[in-house]
Amino acid sequence: MQTIRVWFVKRDEACYISHLDLQRVVQRALKRAGVPVWYTQGFNPHIYLTFALPLPLGQQSITESFDFKTEQDRPDIDAIYWQLNRALPRGIEVFAVTRPEMGSGKIAWARYLIRFEGDGESIRKKAEAFFSRPQLLVDKRTKRGGIKQMDLAPYLQKRDWLPFTQGACLDLTLPAGSTLNINPDLILSALEQATGIDPLDASICRTQLLTETFEKFR
């Protein structure tokens, strides 16, 4: 049994495909492409798939991946690459097929580009005034559906503003993974309440997944 990792981008209208629907899309693409995949056993056999840190709805990414298994001893990596790209819908594109070097449990950070439309200088000043507060208390939903209050201030230190002619562009690294996962939508919601910056004027793109030591997830 071999495990194969497929790396892909998810952008444009594809960012509105939910994670559950994305699983169905990938399963259909694997079948359509004729990729030799392994099915789970039991009453309802299905293609074994695992995604590394599923992306929230409405966000784009250039660093997504999923794993599948095959019983082939020497799977043709190049053929899988071309066959999948022919079978996937617009907005989802494979850019690499590899053997996994790390498990998804190694992911501890995610890096994002958040682009704001409008007056870039004004947006930066308002956002920095908010980010620089000593305490930023927000309500965060727990895995069990409850609400807890957390302070965002300690998690906003890894940020930088990049040159952007059509507004403002924030390069932001946030905790991600099973231990603590901060959705950038939470940052935008808090920013709107404090400054009036409309989150609908912002787009989010995940650019990297990183380990605890800031090594690139592979």
* Domain endpoint, select from 52, 72, 100: 100
**Same-domain check for residues 26 and 41:** yes
Burial class (CB in 10 A: 0-12, 13-18, 19+), 22: buried
CA distance 158 to 22: 30
- Give CA angle at 207 (206, 209), nearest 5°: 90
**Same-domain check for residues 15 and 68:** yes
Domain containing residue 168: CATH number = 3.30.70
**Same-domain check for residues 79 and 64:** yes
pLDDT tens digits for 197-213? Answer: 999 999 999 999 999 99
Say whether pLDDT at 34 is over 80.
yes
Domain that holds residue 27: 2-100
Is 169 within the bounds of a domain? yes
CA distance 53 to 59: 13
Q: Tokens 């905790």 sit at which residue?
A: 175
**Same-domain check for residues 86 and 115:** no
Q: How confident is the model at residue 4 (pLDDT cuts 50, 70, 90)?
A: very high
**Same-domain check for residues 35 and 68:** yes
* Domain endpoint, select from 80, 100, 120: 100
Q: Tokens 């997504």 sit at which residue?
A: 64
CA distance 102 to 28: 26
**Same-domain check for residues 45 and 66:** yes
CA distance 125 to 108: 29
**Same-domain check for residues 207 and 112:** yes
Is 164 within the bounds of a domain? yes
Say whether pLDDT at 42 is over 80.
no
